Amino acid sequence: MTIAAQTAAIIGGGVIGGGWAARFLLMGWNVQVFDPDTEARRKIGEVIDNARRALPGLSDVALPEEGRLSFHADLADAVAGAVYIQESVPERLDLKHAVYADLQAYCDPDAIIGSSTSGFTPSQLQQGAARPGQIVVTHPFNPVYLLPLVEVVGSPANDTALMDRTSEILTALGLYPLRVRGEIDAHIADRLLEAVWREALWLVKDGIATTEEIDNAIRYGFGLRWAQMGLFETYRIAGGEAGMRHFLAQFGPALAWPWTKLMDVPDLDDALIEKLSDQSDAQSGHMTLRALEQARDDNLVTILRGLKARDYGAGALLNAQDRRIDRLPAALDAVPDLAAPIPTLSRAVPVDWVDYNGHMNEARYLETFGAATDRFMALVGCDAAYIEGGSSYFTAETHIRHLGEVRAGEGIGVETQVLKGEGKKLHIFHWMRAGDRLLATGEQMLIHVNLGTRRASEPEANVAGPLARVAAAHAALPWPEGAGAAIGAR
């Protein structure tokens, strides 16, 4: 699905609206914002700066070219040309109804109006609307630019085509649209969170735990399990080899025990509010809001990238999104100019690649060149299927020159030239750049190996042919500066 030329309108630019703006913008959409807050431009700008630093690092390919961001004092201007409108105004039903009346007076009748509401049902939102079927619940999670879940809820007024189109747009943004089967207050996720929240309030009120101790119980324990397996899959494992049936037989009776106070809500009186606020200040008051957000983003990127390496949970969604947005040539015939160095990598530097000096660690330079080599090998036919068949190239020698620094969030690209590509040897040279800035060069000698014997061997014809084709095209290129050099060479 092509999304680069489309326009989204963001109505309400708070924490959630700003996150939506960042997600659309960095995925190539033009974004038009309406928010009467005089500080909206600054607040949204800071959220987008955080997103520029964090979101590109979730991808191992370059994101689409960033769209255009504009702010509008007039609602009609903000929705002009928008095919998707995201409403994120405060949780007051009368306010949302008033906003929808104005929106539908100006917007395209075919535009989708998604609501970030965490509690209202679509039927409640659609009451009194000129076109009820145009309004749908699309409830995200903060930060919207990193967390993929969006609860998509419709009513009988929403036709299947609109619901499908909504899901398609959200998927193309790298999000996970969870189609909720029926209308219910607070949808799915917030109802689960509400149960934990109520228990946490009682634990603080009764002096059993502080806010920090409760957070530690989550982040050092079940929160890590939930991040990749959720609730039911986690409990299935707890049931051992007999699975969920055994778990329920063993722990089901505990549901009748008075462990929880789910039907009993603590009174949020001044004393409890003061207690919660003081403990929260003691826990996190030493950090500014922006620093806390960046710590959250860095942690999420690191966790999500770990899941991505395993192609599991939210990591599988990230890999699918990379495949959707990857613009590098996937086959040799798709290379625009075979007589020039071939683009083999385009991505951003993730936050977990940065060292104590604030720039990309030297080990990541090697990792980047290794990824570029893998991409080049796949282009000439040494792909996963070829390797599964029993042959591959092994790196015998690498020489890297570190020429420039690069920081988290910056885009980097690699181009590759073949210096020798015949027989058992593959000799290649990489340039790594950030824009026009040369960051490093990497020279590699690889040997073709039979994986059965673990000895050097001639490549098969389906690799030798394409490789010879590239080598012949690159033969006329000048010898790269630094090629053949070594540390301390005389």
The CATH number of the domain holding residue 33 is 3.40.50.720
CB 50 within 8 A of CB 298: no
My answer on whether 396 and 365 are in the same domain is: yes
Contacts of 127 (CB under 8 A, 6+ apart): 97
My answer on whether 173 and 204 are in the same domain is: no
My answer on whether 446 and 373 are in the same domain is: yes
CA-to-CA separations, 443 to 11, 50, 133, in angstroms, rounded:
51, 35, 59
Q: Is residue 144 part of a domain?
A: yes
pLDDT at 347: 96
My answer on whether 137 and 261 are in the same domain is: no
Q: Is residue 87 part of a domain?
A: yes
Q: Which two tokens stand for residue 27?
A: 């995925």
CB 57 within 8 A of CB 349: yes
My answer on whether 17 and 139 are in the same domain is: yes
Q: Which of 222, 255, 286 marks a domain boundary? A: 286
My answer on whether 355 and 258 are in the same domain is: no
My answer on whether 273 and 345 are in the same domain is: no
Q: Is residue 192 part of a domain?
A: no
Contacts of 39 (CB under 8 A, 6+ apart): none
The Cα 144–Cα 27 span in angstroms is 13
Contacts of 327 (CB under 8 A, 6+ apart): 61, 62, 64, 346
My answer on whether 40 and 158 are in the same domain is: yes
The DSSP secondary-structure symbol of 452 reads T
Q: Which two tokens stand for residue 54?
A: 């964090």
Nearest to 318 by CA among 288, 291, 347, 278: 347
Q: Is residue 387 part of a domain?
A: yes
My answer on whether 146 and 220 are in the same domain is: no
Q: Is residue 309 part of a domain?
A: no
User: What is this structure's pTM?
Assistant: 0.87
Q: Is residue 275 part of a domain?
A: yes
My answer on whether 355 and 463 are in the same domain is: yes
My answer on whether 170 and 37 are in the same domain is: yes
pLDDT per residue as tens, the chain (490 positions):
444 469 999 999 999 999 999 999 999 999 999 999 999 999 999 999 999 999 999 999 999 999 999 999 999 999 999 999 999 999 999 999 999 999 999 999 999 999 999 999 999 999 999 999 999 999 999 999 999 999 999 999 999 999 999 999 999 999 999 999 999 999 999 999 999 999 999 999 999 999 999 999 999 899 988 988 888 888 888 888 888 888 888 877 777 777 777 777 788 789 988 988 899 899 888 988 888 898 899 989 999 999 999 999 999 999 999 999 999 999 999 999 999 999 999 999 999 999 998 899 999 999 999 999 999 999 999 999 999 999 999 999 999 999 999 999 999 999 999 999 999 999 999 999 999 999 999 999 999 999 999 999 999 999 999 999 999 999 999 999 999 988 876 6
Residue 461, domain CATH: 3.10.129.10
CB 127 within 8 A of CB 97: yes
pLDDT at 326: 94
Q: How far apart are the first and last CA of the chain?
A: 55
CA-to-CA separations, 472 to 278, 310, 421, in angstroms, rounded:
71, 38, 9
Which domain range does residue 221 map to?
A: 199-286
My answer on whether 163 and 204 are in the same domain is: no
Report how many domains make up the chain.
Answer: 3
Q: Is residue 266 part of a domain?
A: yes
The DSSP secondary-structure symbol of 14 reads S
Q: Is residue 184 part of a domain?
A: no
Look-up: residue for tokens 């790196």?
395
Other CB atoms within 10 A of residue 273 CB: 10
